[in-house]
């Protein structure tokens, strides 16, 4: 541990999960900020947090806070993270990182200017099973990787007023669910050389289903499927010439996987055994980066996060989703 003191911005469900895992890991959680004192007090009491602030401004101004976890809805990420950076705080931002690539690039530039860490809370990348998968790939266990596929499909609310279906709140399957398989594919294969996307929109104009086919350097192909209107297998696979990896449900959370040879022989089975939900690993990684005095991690560099946001912009353009007030960089 580096001794960083954490503050949590907002008090929703994901903030609670993160706070619980910080406690599991023994990290120092000192403050929470909400839009109301009542909400902040309730959250602070639940997780034994000494400072409860009635505004985000008060949280980021707290001198006892070194790093802020931003857990508001997508459209608020940019402004909330900017506020924290302007007050000299390192920032871990819940995914999707921002609404658009332009917002992401702005945060990247501001953090670099201030000498601060800004990073995306894509917790899956830091989980032990993903660490082992990257090791196997680096060892050449899969041979040449030919294809990667993943789905993130859930049966969620169909209420038009629900955040997931409201464009003004960044609603849609892509930013809530699709970010997982897109980031996973990027992790394994790198940036795509081409993107083709199709989607299905609901009455509010938000996307309920999105499918992508992407090509990557060397010719590898990836496919992804996201849906907020139906629960699928939520599994993933990496197919190589020497072996494949099958990641079980739910692939983006702590789980099991198998390294399978072409004849069906299971050469390795990995079983995750951790405490908590697993969000502590991204927090620990952020602490290590700050301790090392670096602004870029090798697991998820900020430049890669910005590039992924650009891919999400392109996917939305292809399926016809545009957020209210969004500037069209394409003219």
Residue 48: pLDDT over 80: yes
Cα–Cα distance list, 157 to 161, 166, 228 (Å): 9, 11, 8
Cα–Cα distance list, 69 to 4, 47, 120, 121, 180 (Å): 12, 15, 10, 9, 19
pLDDT band of 301, cuts 50, 70, 90: very high
Residue count of the chain, please give it: 331
Quote the CA–CA distance of 119 and 108 in Å, as a whole number.
9
DSSP state of 161: T
What is the 3-class SS of 230-249, one letter each residue? Answer: CCCCCCEEEEECCCEEEECC
- Work out the mean pLDDT of the chain and round it to a whole number: 96
pLDDT in tens, 253-291: 999 999 999 999 999 999 999 999 999 999 999 999 999
Angle between helices 302-319 and 179-189 (to 10 degrees): 120
pLDDT in tens, 168-207: 999 999 999 999 999 999 999 999 999 999 999 999 999 9
- For the question of whether the overall pTM of this predicted structure is more than 0.75, the answer is yes
pLDDT in tens, 69-99: 999 999 999 999 999 999 999 999 999 999 9
Determine which of 132-141, 238-247, 317-326 has the lowest per-residue pLDDT on average: 317-326
Work out the widest C-alpha separation in the chain, in whole angstroms.
Answer: 61
Give the pLDDT of residue 297. 85
């Amino acid at each position: 541990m580096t001794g960083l003191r954490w503050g949590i911005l907002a008090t929703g469900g994901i903030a609670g999960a993160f706070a619980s895992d910080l406690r599991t890991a023994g990290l120092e959680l000192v403050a929470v900020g909400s839009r109301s004192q009542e909400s902040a007090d309730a959250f602070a009491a639940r997780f034994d947090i000494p400072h409860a602030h009635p505004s985000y401004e008060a949280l980021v101004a707290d001198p006892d806070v070194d790093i802020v976890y931003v857990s508001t809805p997508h459209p608020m990420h940019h402004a909330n993270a900017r506020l924290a950076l302007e007050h000299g705080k390192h920032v871990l931002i819940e995914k999707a990182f921002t609404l658009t690539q332009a917002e992401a690039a702005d945060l990247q530039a501001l953090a670099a200017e201030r000498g601060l860490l800004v990073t995306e809370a894509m917790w899956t990348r830091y989980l032990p099973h993903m660490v082992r998968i990257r090791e196997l790939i680096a060892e050449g266990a899969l041979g040449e990787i030919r294809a990667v596929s993943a789905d993130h499909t859930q049966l969620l609310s169909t209420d038009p007023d629900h955040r997931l279906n409201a464009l003004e709140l960044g609603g849609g399957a892509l930013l809530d669910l699709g970010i997982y398989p897109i980031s996973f594919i990027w992790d394994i294969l790198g940036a795509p050389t081409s993107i083709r996307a199709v989607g299905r929109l609901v009455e509010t104009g938000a996307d309920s289903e999105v499918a992508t086919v992407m090509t990557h350097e060397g010719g590898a192909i990836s496919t992804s499927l996201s849906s907020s209107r139906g629960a699928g297998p939520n599994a993933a696979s990496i197919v190589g010439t020497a072996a494949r990896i099958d990641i079980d449900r739910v692939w983006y959370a702590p789980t099991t996987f198998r390294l399978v040879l072409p004849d069906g022989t299971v050469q390795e089975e990995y079983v995750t055994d951790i405490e908590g939900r697993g969000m502590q690993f991204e927090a620990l990684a952020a602490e290590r980066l700050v301790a090392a005095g670096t602004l870029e991690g090798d697991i998820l560099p900020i430049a890669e996060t910005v590039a992924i946001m650009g891919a999400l912009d392109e996917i939305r353009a292809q399926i016809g989703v545009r957020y209210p007030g969004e500037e069209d960089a394409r003219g």
